[in-house]
């Protein structure tokens, strides 16, 4: 395996002690890991320091600006962005280490597989889920969106083998918390007004029928309800 270590891992956190250890263990082969924390009151910072990461405190700026701040703090131009509730499979780790970093205009995408209340989701619009996470900061950067941020600036995308595992909704409490959060953040970034009842109904139908959430069974139904609730809050 080509030990390509000229990559900075960037992670943003707040009270992620239940996730962070798994994430950091999957990234142990990187020399530079930057954790930008926005006021954790649990053991998040201690876990990060114990794993060899650099921890920087930063008041919350919104998802896009917060991740861009982490990118700017990295030691290397190439950065790999991973969320605290995600981890690399061995195949994906090998793909990152073997990636050709000779062209700074190229960014790399990976297929993310998400879990909902412990169940792997194969439909509901969650699979396949190709996300760009490896890029060069000389040409690429995060958008300033407070939610649904993304990396832009590159001219070419290549795909890596392996999967990025995403444990985003481990409990019902997390479902409720994130529904309220994303709905509220979406409200501030919406482009136009909509009827919230029609928008929520459409969101449910799109997830459960058009995106085959029905094939995920009860989990697909719950995800469709969650999306509908998020949309309802967004347009309230």
The partner residues of 115 in beta bridges, in order of sequence, read 120
pLDDT of residue 100: 95
pLDDT of residue 3: 53
Q: What is the pLDDT along the chain (236 residues), one digit of tens a residue?
A: 455 579 999 999 999 999 999 999 999 999 999 999 999 999 999 999 999 999 999 999 999 999 999 999 999 999 999 999 999 999 999 999 999 999 999 999 999 999 999 999 999 998 999 999 999 999 999 999 888 899 999 999 999 999 999 998 888 988 898 888 788 877 766 667 788 889 889 999 999 999 999 999 999 999 999 999 999 998 88
Compute the half-sphere exposure of residue 171: CA atoms within 13 Å on the CB side of its CA.
5
Helix axes 218-234, 172-189, angle to 10 degrees: 40
Do 9 and 86 form a contact (C-beta atoms < 8 A)?
Answer: no
Nearest to 156, CA basis, from 100, 221, 208, 212: 100
Task: Compute CA 159 distance to the chain's CA centroid, rounded to the nearest angstrom.
Answer: 17
CA-based torsion, 20, 218, 164, 8: positive or negative: negative
| Distance in angstroms (rounded) separating the CA atoms of residues 86 and 202 | 29
pLDDT of residue 136: 98
Q: Which CATH number fits domain 8-169: 3.40.50.300, 3.90.550.10, 3.10.20.30, 3.30.465.10?
A: 3.90.550.10
Task: Compute CA 46 distance to the chain's CA centroid, rounded to the nearest angstrom.
Answer: 22
pLDDT of residue 181: 79
Per-domain residue ranges for the chain? Answer: 8-169, 172-234
């Amino acid at each position: 395996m080509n030990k390509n270590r000229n990559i900075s891992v960037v992670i943003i956190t707040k009270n992620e002690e239940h996730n962070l250890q798994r994430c950091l263990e999957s990234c142990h082969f990187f020399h530079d890991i930057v954790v930008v924390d926005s006021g954790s009151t649990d053991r998040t910072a201690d876990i990060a320091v114990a794993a060899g990461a650099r921890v920087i405190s930063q008041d919350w700026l919104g998802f896009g600006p917060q991740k861009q701040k982490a990118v700017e703090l990295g030691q290397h131009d190439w950065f790999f962005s991973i969320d605290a509730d995600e981890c690399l499979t061995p195949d994906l780790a090998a793909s990152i280490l073997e990636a050709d970093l000779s062209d700074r205009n190229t960014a790399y995408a990976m297929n993310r597989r998400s879990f909902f209340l412990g169940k792997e989701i194969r439909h509901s619009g969650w699979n396949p889920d190709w996300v760009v996470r490896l890029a060069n900061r000389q040409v690429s950067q995060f958008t300033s969106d407070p939610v649904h941020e993304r990396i832009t600036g590159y001219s070419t995308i290549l795909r890596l083998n392996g999967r990025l595992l995403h444990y985003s909704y481990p409990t019902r409490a997390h479902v409720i918390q994130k529904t309220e959060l994303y709905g509220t953040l979406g409200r501030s970034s919406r482009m136009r007004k909509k009827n919230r009842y029609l928008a929520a109904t459409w969101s449910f139908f799109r997830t459960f029928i058009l995106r085959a959430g029905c094939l995920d069974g009860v989990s697909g139904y719950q995800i469709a309800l969650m999306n509908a609730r998020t949309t309802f809050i967004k347009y309230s």
